[in-house]
Structure 1
Amino acid sequence: MANRFKARMTKEFEEEHQDWIKQWLGEFIDADGYVHGYSVGSYIVGDVMESTDEYVVLEYWVPIEEHSILPEKPEEQANE
């Protein structure tokens, strides 16, 4: 199993996509406002939904404040 992380999304992204965040990312955001997933550069991303030798479709990707990234605790990972 790959290591999962949590981090705060950028303020710009949060302000620009408020409605989309509530509708599509709600289950990936905890009560403290951290979005959970896999760390890829300056993003937290979801699972791979589809892939070929030409492209990859991720469940979601969110730009993050890199200084806020933390590893998920084991009890948070158990809820997957």
Structure 2
Amino acid sequence: MGRDCRLARSIDILIPWNISLGDRVHIGEHVILYALGPISIGSGTVVDVRAHLCAGSHDMHDTRFPLTRPPITIGEDCFIG
């Protein structure tokens, strides 16, 4: 986690060791970060109220429906809300 990050008390983080935050990242109320795969959020970015970032899915083209872990990369100075 970078410097001067602000995380709301109501966020839900699953698998936190797969999350990296740049400096001055703000995570708002009731945000869900489901980090089955890596989630990277760049400096100065805001992820606001009730956003849901899910770095996990299933391969719909495979009849076994295996779990996938695609990364989520958000650049600097973005707003997700």
TMscore range, shorter length: under 0.3
Structure with larger Rg: 2
TM-score (norm 1): 0.24
More helix by share: 1
TM-score (norm 2): 0.24
More strand by share: 2
